[in-house]
């Protein structure tokens, strides 16, 4: 059997129903992360009912355009990573590593915008202690930012392994695991975005 | 245009629409619309980016269940009551 046929069979096997994208251990980790973020979001909502004016006034100090831009950037990063997974399934490991690095690049853009947002708020005299809103704003977005940074490290490591030929059309479970983690970071942000930047 | 780029485009458009709706939240029904749009976006990421549509059903139920529960509880408590 020659190469292309092998990769065709491998990519067909990947789309079989009931197959886990990546490792089970990664999915256990992802679900644990989702629960932690879920608790934070629900706590924020309860805190808001106690002090609606404080939250409204606090939300007015946040740059909502930065939140919009970062949502568009993370969605684009997720799309790049999906293209990376598609590439490795067809055996294009170099193309895969490029898409993964492009995904990590969106993380850098995201973090830069996040830091300029923080710098602006700190310059305006706001910090974690300014109000309940600002506590949740800084705590939740910084906790999320740490996950973006970890996601970037994972993507860069996997891109490197891709280039070293450690993944192929037949064996790319590691790529799927890393991609799944990155999509989780995106999914969490999609829920955070309306709660902090849209529903003022 | 293939399916994946269409989904990516849809996610960008729905995000921009949510943000625009947020600029005029004086209407009482707007938070509900923004939360529903968020649920749609999240499900697209779950099904087409995470590829959980093809995954073991339990995993998709857990992740989708998380999305709907968090939006319903946080939205219900914070904005819809």
Query: DSSP letter string over A167-200?
Result: --SS--HHHHHHHHHHHHHHHHHHHHHIIIII--
Average pLDDT on A7-20 reads 54
**Pick from A21, A68, A76: CB nearest B50:** A21
Structure tokens at A22: 């990546």
Distances, alpha carbon A111 to alpha carbons A70, A154, B3, in Å: 9, 16, 29
| C-alpha span between A158 and A168 (Å, rounded) | 12
Kindly indicate the confidence band of residue A18, based on its pLDDT and cuts at 50, 70 and 90. Answer: confident
Q: What is the pLDDT of residues B12-59, one digit of tens each?
A: 999 999 999 988 767 888 899 999 999 999 999 999 999 999 999 999
Give the residue, A14 or A39, on which the prediction is more confident.
A39
A70 lies within 8 A of chain B by CB: no
| C-alpha span between B59 and B3 (Å, rounded) | 23
Q: At what angle do helices B30-44 and A173-193 cross, to 10 degrees?
A: 180
Average pLDDT on B5-14 reads 98
Q: What is the pLDDT of residues A144-181, one digit of tens each?
A: 999 999 999 999 999 999 999 999 999 999 999 999 99
Q: Given this model, what pLDDT does residue A1 score?
A: 38
Q: Given this model, what pLDDT does residue A53 score?
A: 93
A143 lies within 8 A of chain B by CB: no
Kindly indicate the confidence band of residue B1, based on its pLDDT and cuts at 50, 70 and 90. Answer: low
Q: Given this model, what pLDDT does residue B26 score?
A: 72
**Pick from A20, A44, A197: CB nearest B74:** A44
Give the residue carrying structure tokens 């600029």. Answer: B23
Q: Given this model, what pLDDT does residue B25 score?
A: 61
Average pLDDT on A21-44 reads 96
Give the residue carrying structure tokens 């910090």. Answer: A127
A29 lies within 8 A of chain B by CB: no
* Cβ neighbours of B72 in A, within 8 Å: none
Average pLDDT on A67-88 reads 98
Q: Given this model, what pLDDT does residue B24 score?
A: 75
Give the residue carrying structure tokens 């590593």. Answer: A97
**Pick from A15, A42, A200: CB nearest B22:** A200
Check whether B81 has a pLDDT greater than 90. no
Indicate if ipTM > 0.90.
yes
Structure tokens at B31: 């938070």
B40 lies within 8 A of chain A by CB: no
Q: Given this model, what pLDDT does residue A17 score?
A: 57
Check whether A94 has a pLDDT greater than 70. yes
Average pLDDT on A114-133 reads 95
Judged by CB atoms closer than 8 Å, whether chains meet at A72 and B46 is answered as no
Which DSSP string corresponds to A84-138?
Answer: HHHHHHTT-HHHHHHHHHHHHHHHHHHHHHHHHHHHHHHHTT--TTS-HHHHHHH
Q: Given this model, what pLDDT does residue A5 score?
A: 44
């Amino acid at each position: 059997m020659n190469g292309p046929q092998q990769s065709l069979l491998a990519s067909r096997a990947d789309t079989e129903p009931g197959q886990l994208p990546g490792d089970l251990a990664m999915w256990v980790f992802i679900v644990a992360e989702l629960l932690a973020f879920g608790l934070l979001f629900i706590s924020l909502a309860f805190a808001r009912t106690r002090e609606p004016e404080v939250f409204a006034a606090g939300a007015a100090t946040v740059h909502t355009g930065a939140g919009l831009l970062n949502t568009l950037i993370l969605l684009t990063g997720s799309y790049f990573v999906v293209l990376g997974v598609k590439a490795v399934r067809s055996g294009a490991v170099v193309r895969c590593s490029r898409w993964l690095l492009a995904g990590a690049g969106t993380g850098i853009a995201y973090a830069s915008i996040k830091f300029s947002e923080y710098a602006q708020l700190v310059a305006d005299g706001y910090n974690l202690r300014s109000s309940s809103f600002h506590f949740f704003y800084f705590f939740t977005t910084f906790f999320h930012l740490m996950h973006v940074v970890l996601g970037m490290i994972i993507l860069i490591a996997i891109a490197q392994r891709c280039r070293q030929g450690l993944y192929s059309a037949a064996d790319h479970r590691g790529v799927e695991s890393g991609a799944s983690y990155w999509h989780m970071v995106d999914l969490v942000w999609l829920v955070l975005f309306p709660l902090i930047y849209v529903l003022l | 245009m293939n399916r994946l780029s269409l989904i990516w485009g849809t996610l960008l458009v729905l995000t921009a629409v949510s943000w625009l709706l947020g600029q005029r939240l004086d209407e009482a029904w707007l938070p509900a619309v923004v939360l529903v749009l968020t649920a749609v976006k999240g499900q697209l990421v779950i099904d087409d980016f995470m590829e959980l549509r093809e995954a073991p059903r339990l995993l998709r139920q857990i992740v989708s269940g998380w999305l709907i529960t968090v939006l319903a509880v946080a939205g219900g408590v914070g904005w819809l009551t």
